[in-house]
């Protein structure tokens, strides 16, 4: 019988399915030991990285042995994540890695994303060419890509200060592409694939521009949104109605299993350790 090669994405999804069948986030399937023991991983962004969903932090800690800090701002957009109020809070905390999942409250509509290059794929789609903001001052941009770029440049500029508080350890930023979502209806901007992909392109462009490690969750997770519920308000943080999502917007325990595996692997790659 001819053997079939299983793709990396398929392996990740099979792992998550096995975890779900075995009873959830407490099971460590990925690797022996606790590969990030003694490290602090700061989880930044919106409600998906907040204490609204504590199993994100708990899953990462159980699987990797690190201390995980949920610092997401529930209900906030990328523009808020770029603000002094938010960035000062992030930069004021000791951490070894920060993992950013931003954009859950930005709908990705045409004309709201922007690009820094007239020759980019986003420019070809008609997105306006943006100017850099002043990373040393309060964020004042209007486009999604300006907010992402501002976050990265501000963080990188002040990472030396964080190094001093970290006992000589310079923190590392990992920026994730946003996950797909669906809310209200299939016709809403939040539910449109082209808007998900527009945000992804902006984050990829900013990571390349600033030399920031990118974790392409949008591509690697491969979540099938046809099997997930439609998010409606108010947010239900108790009942799990989907396969990898609680509600079509916030990942559930099985979704976090997939995400945490990818994050751990990315951190180990950056550290030069075997994933």
Report if pTM > 0.85: yes
Taking 80 as the threshold, does the pLDDT of residue 32 lie above it? no
Q: How far apart are the first and last CA of the chain?
A: 31
Taking 50 as the threshold, does the pLDDT of residue 25 lie above it? no
Taking 80 as the threshold, does the pLDDT of residue 4 lie above it? no
Is residue 196 within 8 A of residue 202, CB to CB? The reply is no
% residues pLDDT > 70 (the chain)? 87
Non-local (6+) Cβ contacts of 202 within 8 A are 113, 114, 115, 122, 144, 145, 148
Taking 50 as the threshold, does the pLDDT of residue 254 lie above it? yes
Taking 70 as the threshold, does the pLDDT of residue 121 lie above it? yes
pLDDT band at 107 (very low <50, low <70, confident <90, very high): very high
pLDDT value, residue 164: 78
| pLDDT per position as a tens digit, 166-204 | 778 899 999 999 999 999 999 999 999 999 999 999 999
In order of their start, the domains of the chain are: 8-271 (3.40.50.1110)
pLDDT value, residue 168: 81
The number of CA neighbours under 13 Å toward the Cβ of 103 is 34
| Alpha-carbon separation of residue 203 from 12, 121, 224, 225 (angstroms) | 23, 12, 21, 21
pLDDT value, residue 253: 97
Measured CA to CA, the distance from residue 200 to residue 64 in angstroms comes to 27
Is residue 46 within 8 A of residue 102, CB to CB? The reply is yes
């Amino acid at each position: 019988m001819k053997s079939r090669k299983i793709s990396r994405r398929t392996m990740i999804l099979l792992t998550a399915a096995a975890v779900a069948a075995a009873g959830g986030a407490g099971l460590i399937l990925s690797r022996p030991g606790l590969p990030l023991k003694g490290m602090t991983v700061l989880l930044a962004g919106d409600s998906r990285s907040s204490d609204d969903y504590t199993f994100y932090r708990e899953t990462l800690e159980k699987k990797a042995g690190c201390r995980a800090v949920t610092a997401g701002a529930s209900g906030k957009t990328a523009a808020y994540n770029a603000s002094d109020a938010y960035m000062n809070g992030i930069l004021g905390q000791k951490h070894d890695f920060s993992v950013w999942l931003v954009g859950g409250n930005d709908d990705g509509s045409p004309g709201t994303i922007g690009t820094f290059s007239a020759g980019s794929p986003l420019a070809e789609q008609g997105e306006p060419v943006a100017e850099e903001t002043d990373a040393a001052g309060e964020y004042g941009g209007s486009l999604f890509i300006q907010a992402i770029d501002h976050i990265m440049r501000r963080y990188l500029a002040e990472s030396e200060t964080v190094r001093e508080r970290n006992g000589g350890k310079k923190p590392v930023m990992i920026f994730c592409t946003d996950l797909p979502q669906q809310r209200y209806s299939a016709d809403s901007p939040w539910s449109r694939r082209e808007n998900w992909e527009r945000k992804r392109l902006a984050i990829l462009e900013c990571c390349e521009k600033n030399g920031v490690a990118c974790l392409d969750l949008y591509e690697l997770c491969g979540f099938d949104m046809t099997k997930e519920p439609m998010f409606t308000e108010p947010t239900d943080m108790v009942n799990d109605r989907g396969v990898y999502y609680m509600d079509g917007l916030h990942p559930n325990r099985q979704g976090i299993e997939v995400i945490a595996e990818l994050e751990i692997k990315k951190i180990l790659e950056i550290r030069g350790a075997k994933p």
